[in-house]
């Protein structure tokens, strides 16, 4: 379950930061390796916030590790934090975005991902997305999805 408001008895085990990296009318999705949790699914660049990091510092680090892209805090736009409850644990999911003026060179870390694609929000909803990513896409692109 994913929620925009904090559920009762919510006890997060960790936090995750993510980013809708946009270029023109598309955003970047990464295809997870089969051996990873929720393998063979697609998701935006994301990862756990490490001890001593802010959520923004975490996504900056993750973007460098996952796609070899240097993003600065000035290039990030905070969108929203969501509350995720799985049967085994709870966690907080922070969503950022960053808009690229020129198409960035993406070099994926093949330990974690096997491919990447630039997709429209509508195209992404037809893909095998990581759990709850469809909710995040619809929330982030709400007005654009209704108008297309």
CATH of residue 129's domain is 3.90.79.10
pLDDT tops 60 at residue 147? no
pLDDT tops 60 at residue 144? no
pTM value surpassing 0.95: no
* Nearest CA-CA partner of 66 in 112, 28, 14, 117: 112
Residue 70 lies in a domain: yes
Q: Average the pLDDT over 71-79 and give the result.
A: 95
Residue 147 lies in a domain: no
Query: Which residue segment(s) compose the domain that 120 sits in?
Result: 8-141
State pLDDT tens for residues 12-61: 999 999 999 999 999 999 999 999 989 899 999 999 999 999 999 999 99
Residue 137 lies in a domain: yes
Residue 3 lies in a domain: no
State pLDDT tens for residues 108-140: 999 999 999 999 999 999 999 999 999 999 999
Residue 136 lies in a domain: yes
Residue 146 lies in a domain: no
* Nearest CA-CA partner of 109 in 66, 45, 46, 48: 66
CB atoms inside a 10 Å sphere around CB 12: 15
pLDDT of residue 143: 54
The structural domain count of the chain equals: 1
């Amino acid at each position: 379950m994913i929620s925009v408001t904090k559920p009762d008895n919510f006890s997060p085990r960790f936090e995750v930061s993510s980013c809708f990296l946009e270029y023109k009318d598309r955003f970047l999705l990464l295809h997870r390796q089969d051996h990873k949790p929720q393998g063979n699914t697609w998701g935006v660049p994301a990862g756990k916030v490490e001890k001593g990091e802010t959520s923004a510092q975490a996504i900056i680090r993750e973007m460098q590790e996952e796609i070899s892209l240097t993003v600065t805090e000035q290039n990030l736009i905070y969108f929203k934090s969501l509350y995720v409850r799985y049967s085994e644990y709870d966690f907080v999911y922070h969503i950022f975005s960053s808009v690229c003026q020129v198409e960035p060179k993406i070099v994926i870390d093949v330990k974690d991902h096997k491919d990447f694609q630039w997709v429209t929000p509508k195209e992404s909803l037809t893909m095998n997305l990581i759990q709850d990513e469809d909710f995040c896409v619809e929330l982030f692109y709400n007005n654009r999805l209704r108008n297309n």
